[in-house]
Amino acid sequence: MKVDYLVVGAGLAGMAFAEILASKNKTFLVFNNHSQNASVVAGGMYNPVILKRFTPVWDAENQLQTALPFYNSLEEKFNTKFDFKTKVARVFKTTEEQNNWFAASDKPLLKKYLKANISTKPITGLNSPFGYGIVNSTGRINTKMLLTVYENYLIEKRILIEEEFKHSKIIHSEEKLIYDQIEAKHIVFCEGYGIKNNPFFNHLPLNGTKGELLTINAPELKLDKIAKGPVFIMPIKEHIYKVGATFNWTDKTLNPTEKGKEELLTKLKQLINVPFEIIDHQAGIRPTVKDRRPLLGTHAKHKNLAILNGLGTRGVMLAPKMAMQLYNFLEEGIPLDNEVNINRFY
C-alpha cells in the first residue's frame, strides 16, 4: 500500500494535520493507540489574553484567524456544533487587579479583546466583590466531541490504524519510508507527551505538565460565561461545569490524584458560594516546551520524518495554524517561523 503520509497520533495536532491532508487530496493513514489523552481531557478554551498578567497570548490574532474558520469548516463537514462562543469573565480579587485591567485594556494589542469597563452585576453563586472584566473573542471547542467524530470519520474511511506505532519498524530511504508494508513519502509525529518514546525526536526539550480537571453539578450557580479566578469554571450544559486546571511538572502519570482534587476544590470554594457535586475527575499530560513555543520541523538526518508537537495549554488555538505551516513547509518548501522551528534547539 502506498500513501503520501503516515500521521502518528490523533489528538488536536494529528487531527488538524489529517484534515489539511484531506483538504489537499493527499492520501494518508492515521495511527492512534489512545495512549495520550490531553486533547480529550482539555477544557478546550480559546482566549487571546493571558489573564494572570493581562498580557497578549503570543501570535493570538493570527492563530484565531486560522483556527475559527477551521473549526467552522469541521462543523459544516460533520453537521455538528463544536465551537461554543462564550465570553470570559476575569474575576478580580483586589483593587490593584482592577487598576491593572484598566491599564491593559488601553494597550494596542489588548484593547480589542478587553472590555474597558468593569462589571459589578452580581452572578448568582459567584464571589466577585471587586467585579469582573469581560474578554471578547473567546469560547470553547468541545474537543472530546470533535475528536470522537473525527475518529469515526477516519474509521469510516478505513484510514485509522488503532495500534501502537513501532518506531523501530521504519525502513528509511531518501525517497520513501516503509512501515509494515506501507510505503509513505512522509511520517508526521503528533504524539504529544508520547514523544518521550520516539527515538527520532525525544531529545527535544518537551517537558509535559500534568493537568487535572473536575466536572461538577451546581444547580444554584447561574453562570453563562467562563469565569476565571484561582481556577476557571466553564459552563458545559445546564448546571454542569468544568473546573480546572492544575499544573504539576513532576507527576507524569495519567491518574487523577487526591492532591489535585483538593487543590481544585480549595480554589473553587474561593470562587463560588453555592453547593455542588463532583461528577467527574480527569487528568492528562500537556505537551509543553521550555520556551512555550510549538515544535515543528524535520529530523536532522531523515528529512521525511517530521514533528508537530508542543502545543501545550493552547492546542485549540495553535493546532490549525501549526498544521498548515508544517504542511506548507513539507509540500511547498515555505520556511517555518524561527520561533517554532526545532532548529532553534540545535
| CATH at residue 110 | 3.30.9.10
* Cell of residue 227, nine digits: 469565569
The answer to whether residue 341 is domain-embedded is yes
> Do 256 and 216 reside in the same domain of the chain?
yes
The answer to whether residue 55 is domain-embedded is no
Q: What is the pLDDT along the chain (346 residues), one digit of tens a residue?
A: 999 999 999 999 999 999 999 999 999 999 998 877 777 677 899 999 999 999 999 999 999 999 999 999 999 999 999 999 999 999 999 999 999 999 999 999 999 999 999 999 999 999 999 999 999 999 999 999 999 999 999 999 999 999 999 999 999 887 899 999 999 999 999 999 999 999 999 999 998 999 999 999 999 999 999 999 999 999 999 999 999 999 999 999 989 999 999 999 999 999 999 999 999 999 999 999 999 999 999 999 999 999 999 999 999 999 999 999 999 999 999 999 999 999 999 8
| 239 CA to centre of own chain | 25
> Do 215 and 274 reside in the same domain of the chain?
yes
In angstroms, the CA 201 to CA 189 distance is: 9
The answer to whether residue 318 is domain-embedded is yes
In angstroms, the CA 120 to CA 117 distance is: 10
Domain boundary among 286, 306, 336: 286
- Domain total for the chain? 2
Q: 184: alpha, beta or left, given left = phi > 0 and alpha = psi -120 to 50?
A: beta
**What are the CA-CA distances from residue 161 to residues 31, 170, 174, 186 (Å)?**
5, 16, 25, 16
Model pTM score: 0.95
> Do 180 and 234 reside in the same domain of the chain?
no
How many helices and strands in the chain, by DSSP H and E?
A: 7, 20
> Do 198 and 234 reside in the same domain of the chain?
no
> Do 282 and 201 reside in the same domain of the chain?
no
Strands (E), the chain: 2-8, 28-31, 45-46, 49-50, 55-56, 83-85, 88-91, 132-135, 139-141, 160-161, 171-172, 177-179, 182-189, 209-217, 226-228, 232-237, 240-244, 277-286, 295-298, 305-309
> Do 118 and 170 reside in the same domain of the chain?
no
User: Half-sphere exposure of residue 65, counting CA atoms within 13 Å on the CB side?
Assistant: 4
3-class SS of residue 341: strand
> Do 200 and 219 reside in the same domain of the chain?
no
The answer to whether residue 197 is domain-embedded is yes
> Do 162 and 223 reside in the same domain of the chain?
no
> Do 237 and 262 reside in the same domain of the chain?
yes
The answer to whether residue 59 is domain-embedded is no
Say what the pLDDT of residue 38 is.
73
> Do 327 and 217 reside in the same domain of the chain?
no
> Do 126 and 225 reside in the same domain of the chain?
yes
CATH (domain of 158): 3.50.50.60
> Do 195 and 321 reside in the same domain of the chain?
yes
The answer to whether residue 67 is domain-embedded is no
The range of the structural domain enclosing residue 181 comes to: 2-42+144-205+290-345
In angstroms, the CA 149 to CA 284 distance is: 20
The answer to whether residue 93 is domain-embedded is yes
* All residues at 6 or more sequence positions from 238 whose CB lies less than 8 Å from its CB, including other chains: none
Q: What is the DSSP letter of 122?
A: -
Say what the pLDDT of residue 40 is.
67
Domain boundary among 286, 314, 333: 286
In angstroms, the CA 61 to CA 337 distance is: 16
The answer to whether residue 249 is domain-embedded is yes
Domain boundary among 271, 286, 301: 286
* All residues at 6 or more sequence positions from 23 whose CB lies less than 8 Å from its CB, including other chains: none
